[in-house]
A and B are shown apart, each in its own frame.
Chain A
Amino acid sequence: MSMAKFLTRRLLQGIFVIWGVVTIMFGLRAVAPGDPANMMLAEGATQELVEQVRREEGLNEPVYVQYVDYVQGLVTGDFGYSWQSNREVEAMVIERIPATVELTIAATIVALVIAIPLGVISATRRNEPADYGATLFSLLGISTPNFWLGLMLILVFGVWAGLLPTGRRPVGFGEAVLTLVRYGSVYDLLVWLKHIALPALTLGTYFTALITRLTRSGMVDELGKPYVTASRAKGLPSVLVRYKHVLRNTMIPVITVLGLQMGTLMGGAVITETVFNWPGLGLRLIDALGTRDWPLMQGIVVFIAVAFVTINIAVDAVYSYLDPQVSEG
């Protein structure tokens, strides 16, 4: 199969996945208990008002008509209006993307900075205390629920030690960089860094553990291969062998997982953002759930699905370029 055909097939699969997500979300909205019109009006609305809202929002139409209208809207880029704020859903989604992207990238950086050295140490000192420590860390990292870890970090670093703020994002990374450029001040950058530290650590911990394990097992495999023995026999320094040759080869599956896990990280961000009141898409999703703001909920979930599918297709594309066997099936 040519690469073009492979990517076309993946694209069609991706569209099918997104359509599935859209349909499931709409189905959930249809079967969820409660009248959306009542939720839009909150306490105290009369029946007349409720009826008026039902008419205006098309809630009296048969479900299939509402579904077709909704899908048509999505295809034309119209996600509708938030039932609570009357604002366009697209705008409400877009304005929250930077916070989630910042958090996801920061968590990835945290994971890579900690995991790769840890994985290398663990692999090169197999069955030594350092290896046991790293393995234990991986096990704990994979087993610890995000929300619990977040609360503990808040308690220790925020409340007890008073070193870091317990939540919120008073300034975005972009604004912080602008302040640096305009005024030569790193103040905003430090504020941003202080606020993102605990959420990034929380979100990145599972990922750190995963990459540590991958790096370790990859390194262990590679270290047993003949080219390593040959390199050492040639008298190459072991540091050079480990980091220039072995680690580089180990990184291929790590980078693949990195790409695939970005979507998972965005999903995990829902919990982390809620714990730290970090104003990203996840927190907005939870807020929308609380008020049963279905258009907003659907918009966010569809966006996350699109992002997830896009990242996966991009990773597949890169992977099939690097390894033509993938596209050949």
Chain B
Amino acid sequence: MQGADTTRLDRRTLLKITGAAGTTGLAAMGGCLSDPGSDDETNEITITLSQFPDTIDPLDHITGDYFDVYDHIYEPLFDFEPGEGIFSRVVEDWEAQGDGSTELSLRDGVVFHNGDDLTAEDVAWTINRTVDPEMGVPSPIGTYGLGSIEGASAIDDTTVSVEYSAAPGLAEFEFGNYARAIDKEWAIENHDAENDAISGSDPEDFNGTGPYEVVDFTSGEEIVLERFDDYWGDEPPFERVTFNADGESSGRVNSLETGETDLTINILPEDVDTVRSADGVEIRQVTSFRNIFCPMKNTVEPFDSQEFRQAMNYAVDNQEIVDTILSGFGEPRGQPVAPGINGFNDDIEPYEQDIGMAESLVEESGYGGVEIELTAPQGRYLNDADVGETVADQIDQLENVSCESNIVDFGVVSDANQAGVDPDGFEIPFYMIGWGTITGDTDYGVQGFFTIPDNPNRTFDDEELSDAILESQQIEDPDERRQQLEEVNQMAHEKAPFVFLHTQESIYGVREDIEWEPREDETVYIWGMET
């Protein structure tokens, strides 16, 4: 008992001493709690993406999250407004020369973050670096984004000639979206950029003409931008911008709820109610330019039959998928591109589920009793695995077709999409994938899948469809070209190279007091915001 008494006494003494020490410590710390590095936090914004850029070369990848960051540093040469076209930005004026080239006149007074003046040589070199696979970094921006652009040259200090193989209207959609400027001398001297991708982990490894410059960069974690004082254009609304990333939708929503971030992208439908019920934040959404569909490679059975491919479309209830799996965050679609895209055909209705029609088309095709498998990705698009499984289930409901789903990493699907149509070159003929037609022109949404010449990666082999696309690429009159593209979409609907599913919505969580409307092309521009 003596010991127990001693313990009680000691514990009290200990508590007294601890309390006194704690109080003294807190008092001593009173003046030490402020952030020594912070001035004013009111003019800041934090944006949480779903994927942090893993390259710092702005020409390295076509990935929306990367553009969200790098467009503020390496701004696009033009402003692009979905459904409206391109407008001046770094390029003040431009004119097609009628000889397969367009001259771009650069704005005066545009400087890079390191103080160098922007020249026509910088722009021409950047375009060449993007489209020439032998130079710089092998870039899908060059092959897809600037697919018809052959090269560029500087005519004088402020004039660039861009050469292309297609009609000026198509070329304009391409360089209007994907042309940017890197400081040639800086890039070659510091990063050997003619032979390799730009890489690094310091703020000094970035140098664009955009409205923001990098002040802090922690690779894979966070990039902090501040207004560039010598920017040629209007001052952007926030002094300081922080981009970070969280791969989980629920994590991004948590950050939004707790005020750790101000805007976040790619919220899954099941997390929408959580944001809606939180204080001070809200959901904003827009129908994107991204269509989800299931290509069917027609060089193998049973997909070589148009009747069979149409049957697959009639087997699927797109409206039900949108209503249930996407909670309404999508629109059923019956053509390769989304509304707002140049060439979108308003007259095409989505295929409506008709089991009887599907079964009789299967019989007509001669493939009754066939077994097929749908390969679908997980974690790439809105509830993609669930969508894939439901599509397979609905096809499996047909009396004369058996269909199973196979859920895989996106990489497997991406490989299948790249493997071309040679039956010896692929193992997966039927898979689900998404495609964002971010140039705003149907050509970007169809040429990679359907054109035949010089396109070993196509997913469908049909000369009539291919010729129609190639013809559209050469039509100079914008109205005539749009009509031809509408015809291409009609043809695609009938030939059914895909099981057409839906256009998905982009869902954002945003602080209520930020005035900003989401864009169809999935980009997030600070300069489009107000507080």
A and B are partners in one complex rather than unrelated chains: yes
CB-nearest residue of chain A to B245: A277
Chain A residues with Cβ under 8 A from B220's Cβ?
92, 96, 279, 283-284, 287
Q: Return A98 CB to nearest CB of chain B, in Å.
A: 11
Q: Return A158 CB to nearest CB of chain B, in Å.
A: 6
Q: Return B414 CB to nearest CB of chain A, in Å.
A: 6
Contact between chains at A187 and B255 (CB < 8 Å): no
Chain B residues with Cβ under 8 A from A239's Cβ?
3, 6-7, 10
Given known contacts A84-B55, A85-B199, A39 and B411 CB-to-CB distance under 8 angstroms: yes
Q: Interface digits, B410-445 against A, CB 8 Å rule (1 contact, 0 not)?
A: 011011011010000000000000000000000000
Is residue B27 within 8 Å, beta carbon to beta carbon, of the partner chain?
no
Q: Is the interface of B mostly helix, strand, loop or mixed?
A: loop
Interface residues of A in 51-104 (CB under 8 A from B): 52-53, 82, 84-87, 91-92, 95-96
Chain A residues with Cβ under 8 A from B251's Cβ?
166-167, 275, 277
Interface residues of B in 398-416 (CB under 8 A from A): 408-409, 411-412, 414-415
Interface residue tally for chain A (C-beta within 8 Å) = 62
Complex alpha-carbon distance, A48 and B260, angstroms: 44
Is residue A252 within 8 Å, beta carbon to beta carbon, of the partner chain?
no
Chain B residues with Cβ under 8 A from A91's Cβ?
201
Chain B residues with Cβ under 8 A from A38's Cβ?
411, 414-415, 418
Is residue B36 within 8 Å, beta carbon to beta carbon, of the partner chain?
yes
Q: Return B491 CB to nearest CB of chain A, in Å.
A: 23
CB-nearest residue of chain B to A41: B140
Interface residues of A in 25-51 (CB under 8 A from B): 33-35, 38-39, 41-50
Complex alpha-carbon distance, A239 and B3, angstroms: 7
CB-nearest residue of chain B to A236: B3
Q: Interface digits, A156-178 against B, CB 8 Å rule (1 contact, 0 not)?
A: 00110010011111100000000
Chain B residues with Cβ under 8 A from A50's Cβ?
418
Residue of B4, B36, B196 most packed against chain A (CB within 10 A): B36
Q: Return A199 CB to nearest CB of chain B, in Å.
A: 13
Is residue B483 within 8 Å, beta carbon to beta carbon, of the partner chain?
no
Chain A residues with Cβ under 8 A from B456's Cβ?
46-47
Is residue B285 within 8 Å, beta carbon to beta carbon, of the partner chain?
no
Q: Return A255 CB to nearest CB of chain B, in Å.
A: 25
Q: Return B334 CB to nearest CB of chain A, in Å.
A: 23
Contact between chains at A166 and B201 (CB < 8 Å): no
Chain A residues with Cβ under 8 A from B448's Cβ?
44
- Give the residue of A41, A96, A167, A187 whose beta carbon is less than 8 angstroms from that of B34: A187
Residue of B139, B222, B411, B456 most packed against chain A (CB within 10 A): B411
A2-10, A132-140, A219-227, A290-298: which lies at the interface: A290-298
Complex alpha-carbon distance, A186 and B35, angstroms: 8
Interface residues of A in 145-203 (CB under 8 A from B): 151, 154, 158-159, 162, 165-170, 179, 182-188, 190
Is residue B339 within 8 Å, beta carbon to beta carbon, of the partner chain?
no
Contact between chains at B411 and A292 (CB < 8 Å): yes
Is residue B57 within 8 Å, beta carbon to beta carbon, of the partner chain?
yes
Is residue A21 within 8 Å, beta carbon to beta carbon, of the partner chain?
no
Q: Return A87 CB to nearest CB of chain B, in Å.
A: 5
Complex alpha-carbon distance, A45 and B251, angstroms: 32
- Give the residue of A45, A167, A188 whose beta carbon is less than 8 angstroms from that of B246: A167
Is residue A256 within 8 Å, beta carbon to beta carbon, of the partner chain?
no
Is residue B457 within 8 Å, beta carbon to beta carbon, of the partner chain?
yes
Complex alpha-carbon distance, A33 and B416, angstroms: 11
Chain A residues with Cβ under 8 A from B196's Cβ?
86
Interface residues of B in 1-51 (CB under 8 A from A): 2-4, 6-7, 10, 29, 32-37
Contact between chains at A44 and B143 (CB < 8 Å): yes
Q: Interface digits, A238-260 against B, CB 8 Å rule (1 contact, 0 not)?
A: 11100000000000000000000
Is residue A286 within 8 Å, beta carbon to beta carbon, of the partner chain?
yes
Chain B residues with Cβ under 8 A from A47's Cβ?
418, 420, 456-457
Is residue A129 within 8 Å, beta carbon to beta carbon, of the partner chain?
no
Q: Return B218 CB to nearest CB of chain A, in Å.
A: 7
Is residue A329 within 8 Å, beta carbon to beta carbon, of the partner chain?
no
CB-nearest residue of chain A to B143: A46
Contact between chains at B218 and A158 (CB < 8 Å): no
Interface residue tally for chain B (C-beta within 8 Å) = 65
Q: Return B365 CB to nearest CB of chain A, in Å.
A: 30
Interface residues of A in 266-301 (CB under 8 A from B): 274-275, 277, 279, 283-284, 286-287, 290-293
Contact between chains at A45 and B418 (CB < 8 Å): yes
Contact between chains at A95 and B219 (CB < 8 Å): yes
Contact between chains at A187 and B2 (CB < 8 Å): no
Given known contacts A167-B255, A239-B6, A277 and B246 CB-to-CB distance under 8 angstroms: yes
Contact between chains at A45 and B138 (CB < 8 Å): yes
Complex alpha-carbon distance, A185 and B56, angstroms: 34
Chain B residues with Cβ under 8 A from A283's Cβ?
220
Q: Interface digits, B53-79 against A, CB 8 Å rule (1 contact, 0 not)?
A: 011110011110000000000000000
Complex alpha-carbon distance, A240 and B7, angstroms: 10
Is residue B254 within 8 Å, beta carbon to beta carbon, of the partner chain?
yes
Given known contacts A279-B218, A290-B247, A158 and B254 CB-to-CB distance under 8 angstroms: yes
Is residue B233 within 8 Å, beta carbon to beta carbon, of the partner chain?
no
Chain A residues with Cβ under 8 A from B411's Cβ?
33-34, 38-39, 292
Residue of A45, A50, A154, A186 most packed against chain B (CB within 10 A): A45
Chain A residues with Cβ under 8 A from B328's Cβ?
none
Residue of A44, A46, A154, A183 most packed against chain B (CB within 10 A): A44
Q: Return B431 CB to nearest CB of chain A, in Å.
A: 13
Complex alpha-carbon distance, A167 and B408, angstroms: 28
CB-nearest residue of chain B to A183: B36
Complex alpha-carbon distance, A42 and B222, angstroms: 22
Contact between chains at A237 and B2 (CB < 8 Å): yes
Complex alpha-carbon distance, A37 and B146, angstroms: 21
Chain A residues with Cβ under 8 A from B36's Cβ?
179, 182-183, 185, 187
Contact between chains at B414 and A43 (CB < 8 Å): yes
Contact between chains at B62 and A185 (CB < 8 Å): no
Could you list which residues of chain A lie within 8 angstroms of chain B, going by C-beta atoms?
A: 33-35, 38-39, 41-50, 52-53, 82, 84-87, 91-92, 95-96, 151, 154, 158-159, 162, 165-170, 179, 182-188, 190, 237-240, 274-275, 277, 279, 283-284, 286-287, 290-293
Q: List 8 A-B contacts (CB under 8 A).
A: A39-B414, A42-B61, A43-B417, A47-B456, A86-B57, A166-B251, A167-B246, A168-B255
Beyond A187-B35, A283-B220: 10 further Cβ-contacts under 8 Å? A43-B414, A45-B418, A47-B418, A49-B143, A50-B418, A86-B196, A87-B219, A95-B201, A169-B221, A179-B37
Could you list which residues of chain B lie within 8 angstroms of chain A, going by C-beta atoms?
A: 2-4, 6-7, 10, 29, 32-37, 52, 54-57, 60-63, 133, 138-141, 143-145, 196-197, 199-201, 218-222, 244, 246-248, 250-251, 254-255, 257-258, 260, 379, 408-409, 411-412, 414-415, 417-418, 420, 448, 455-457
